[in-house]
């Protein structure tokens, strides 16, 4: 079983739509959680960390559900520039090792 599982998509949404991605992780001892964004043929870049109480950064909201072992990313008022692949990332407790999901592809259309 993979450490981190994501729906590969693609999610095709119109501009202005709200879209949500989920990601599940298998290790209940996981400690840190992140969402990274990867544009086509580019390197992954940190979008946001995910905190236990949930956190928001502009149009982006991240949530963590430890009981069900999933994290989510909500994007409001989608922009064309949000088109990318979103990678869910999990770090087990006391390890400096990140486990990346395979990514969810988002296409925002005019």
Partner 1 sequence: DAGVIQSPRHEVTEMGQEVTLRCKPISGHNSLFWYRQTMMRGLELLIYFNNNVPIDDSGMPEDRFSAKMPNASFSTLKIQPSEPRDSAVYFCASSPGTSGGNEQFFGPGTRLTVL
In this complex, which beta carbon is closest to partner 1, that of residue 11 or of residue 103? 103
**Strand arrangement of the beta sheet that strand 60-65 belongs to:** 4-6, 19-25, 70-75, 60-65, 55-57
Among residue numbers 27 through 66, which ones bind partner 1 (CB under 8 A)?
31-32, 34, 42-46, 49
Question: What is the smallest separation between the CB atom of 9 and partner 1, expressed in angstroms?
Answer: 13
CA 77, CA 15: separation in Å to the nearest integer?
A: 7
Residues that bind partner 1 (CB under 8 A): 31-32, 34, 42-46, 49, 87, 91, 94-103
């Amino acid at each position: 079983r993979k450490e981190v599982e994501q729906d590969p998509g693609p999610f095709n949404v119109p501009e202005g739509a709200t879209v949500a991605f989920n990601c599940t992780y298998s290790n209940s001892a996981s400690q840190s959680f992140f969402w990274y964004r990867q544009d086509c043929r580019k390197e992954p870049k940190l979008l946001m960390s995910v905190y236990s109480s949930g956190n928001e950064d502009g149009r982006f909201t991240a949530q963590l559900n430890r009981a069900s072992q999933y994290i989510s990313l909500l994007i409001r008022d989608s922009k064309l520039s949000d088109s990318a692949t979103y990678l869910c990332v999990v770090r087990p407790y006391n390890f400096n090792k990140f486990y990346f999901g395979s990514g969810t592809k988002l296409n925002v259309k005019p």
